Amino acid sequence: MKCNWCIKKLSEIAHINPKESIGKGIMAKKVPMDKLQPFYRDIPEFILEEYKGGAKFRNDDTIMARITPCLENGKISKVSVLDDDEVGFGSTEYIVFRAIEGVSDADFLYYLICSPLVRNPAIKSMVGSSGRQRVQTDVVADLDIELPHIEEQRKIGSILRTLDDKIALNNAINNNLAA
Q: Which pLDDT does position 1 carry in this prediction? A: 56
Helix then strand then coil, % of the chain, to nearest 5: 35, 25, 40
DSSP assigned state of 70: T
Backbone φ and ψ of 89, nearest 5°: -145, 170
Asked if residue 2 has pLDDT above 70, the reply is no
Asked if residue 95 has pLDDT above 80, the reply is yes
In this structure, are strands 14-16 and 6-9 parallel, antiparallel, or unpaired?
unpaired
Give the whole-angstrom CA distance, residue 65 versus residue 1.
32
Indicate the helix (H) or strand (E) that contains 14.
Answer: strand 14-16
At 32-52, the pLDDT tens digits run 999 999 999 999 999 999 999
Mean pLDDT of the chain: 94
Residue whose C-alpha is closest to residue 73's, from 112, 37, 115, 125: 37
- 83 vs 171 pLDDT, higher one: 83
Please give the span between the terminal C-alpha atoms of the chain, in angstroms, as a whole number.
Answer: 46
Q: Average of pLDDT values for 100-119?
A: 97
pTM, two decimals, is 0.93
At 54-89, the pLDDT tens digits run 999 999 999 999 999 999 999 999 999 999 999 999
Beta bridge partners of 76: 64
Residue whose C-alpha is closest to residue 2's, from 163, 152, 142: 152
Asked if residue 152 has pLDDT above 90, the reply is yes
Q: Average of pLDDT values for 161-175?
A: 90
Sorting pLDDT into bands at 50, 70 and 90, what band is 31?
A: very high
Give the whole-angstrom CA distance, residue 79 versus residue 124.
25
Helix ranges (H only) for 5-97 are: 10-13
